[in-house]
Chain A
Amino acid sequence: MTAGAARAMNATVETHAFDLAKSSVRDLNAALHALKPGSNASLWRVANPRGLHAIAAGLDAPVTVEVDGPAGYYCAGMNKQATVIVRGAAGVGVAENMMSGFVHVEGDASQAAGATAHGGTLVIDGDAGARCGISMKGVDIVVKGSIGHMSAFMAQAGTLTVFGDAGDALGDSIYEARLYVRGSVKSLGADCVEKELRDEHRKELFERFRLAGIDGQIDPSEFRRYGSARNLYHFHVDNASAY
Chain B
Amino acid sequence: MNEHVKAPAAPRTLPRESATFDAYTLSEIRRAAATGIYDIRGAGAKRKVPHFDDLLFLGASISRYPLEGYRERCGTNVTLGTRFAKKPIELKIPITIAGMSFGSLSGPAKEALGRGASAMGTSTTTGDGGMTQEERGHSQTLVYQYLPSRYGMNPDDIRKADAIEVVVGQGAKPGGGGMLLGQKISARVAKMRTLPEGIDQRSACRHPDWTGPDDLEIKIEELREITDWEKPIYVKVGAARPYYDTALAVKSGADVVVVDGMQGGTAATQEVFIENVGIPTLAAIRQAVKALQDLGMHRRVQLIVSGGIRNGADVAKALALGADAVAIGTAALVALGDNDPKWESEYEALGTRAGAYDDWHEGRDPAGITTQDPELMKRLDPVLAGRRLANYLSVMTLEAQTIARACGKSHVHNLEPEDLVALTIESAAMAQVPLAGTQWIPGANGAF
Contact = CB atoms under 8 A, between A and B. Distances in A.
B182 A93 contact: no
A189 interface: no
A115 B196 CA distance: 19
Q: Which interface residue of A58, A111, A157, A237 has the most chain B CB atoms within 10 A?
A: A58
A54 B221 contact: yes
Given A97-B150, A116-B150, A54 B204 contact: no
B208 A115 contact: yes
Max chain A CB contacts within 10 Å: which of B196, B202, B226? B226
Given A73-B215, A93-B210, A135-B204, A99 B154 contact: yes
A100 to B, nearest CB: 10
Contacts of A26: 225, 229
Contacts of B79: none
Nearest to A28: B225
Given A57-B225, A96-B209, A156-B195, A80 B155 contact: yes
B155 A60 contact: yes
Nearest to B154: A99
Of the listed residues A74, A134, A138, A240, the one surrounded by the most CB atoms of chain B closer than 10 A to its CB is A74
Interface in A40-87: 53-54, 57-58, 60, 72-74, 77-78, 80
A137 B194 CA distance: 6
Interface string B164-201: 00000000000000000110000000000111100110
B144 to A, nearest CB: 13
Contacts of A157: 194
B307 to A, nearest CB: 27
Interface residues of B, number: 32
Given A57-B225, A78-B155, A156-B194, A135 B218 contact: no
B222 interface: yes
Interface string B127-157: 0000000000000000000000110011100
Contact of B36 (A112, A175, A237): A237
A92 interface: yes
A74 B227 contact: no
Given A54-B225, A58-B226, A115-B209, A74 B154 contact: no
Q: Is the interface of B mostly helix, strand, loop or mixed?
A: loop
A97 to B, nearest CB: 6
A54 B37 CA distance: 44
B209 A78 contact: no
Nearest to A77: B222
B225 A58 contact: yes
B221 A53 contact: yes
A178 interface: no
A93 B209 contact: yes
B227 A58 contact: yes
A33 interface: yes
A196 to B, nearest CB: 20
A73 B214 CA distance: 11
B35 A237 contact: yes
B149 A135 contact: yes
A115 B208 CA distance: 7
B68 interface: no
A74 B36 CA distance: 43
B155 A243 contact: no
Contacts of B194: 118, 137-138, 156-157
Contact of B208 (A53, A74, A135, A237): A135
B386 to A, nearest CB: 32
Contacts of B310: none
Interface string A132-156: 0011011000000000000001101
Given A26-B229, A58-B227, A92-B215, A237 B196 contact: no
B200 A74 contact: no
A60 B228 CA distance: 13
Given A92-B215, A234-B182, A237-B35, A175 B196 contact: yes
Nearest to A135: B208
B92 interface: no
A35 to B, nearest CB: 13
B219 interface: yes
Contact of B226 (A57, A72, A138): A57
A154 B151 CA distance: 12
Nearest to B181: A235
B210 A92 contact: yes
Contacts of A57: 222, 225-226
A73 to B, nearest CB: 5
Contacts of B209: 74, 92-93, 96, 111-112, 115-116, 131, 134
26 contacts: A25-B225, A29-B225, A29-B226, A29-B228, A54-B218, A72-B218, A73-B218, A73-B222, A77-B222, A77-B225, A77-B226, A78-B226, A92-B210, A92-B218, A96-B209, A112-B209, A116-B153, A116-B209, A131-B209, A137-B150, A154-B204, A156-B194, A233-B200, A234-B199, A234-B200, A237-B36
Given A97-B154, A134-B209, 9 more contacts: A58-B226, A58-B227, A92-B215, A93-B222, A96-B208, A115-B150, A157-B194, A240-B37, A243-B202
User: What 10 A-B pairs have minimum CB-CB distances, sorted nearest first?
Assistant: A58-B226, A93-B209, A112-B209, A116-B150, A78-B155, A74-B222, A54-B222, A233-B199, A115-B209, A134-B208
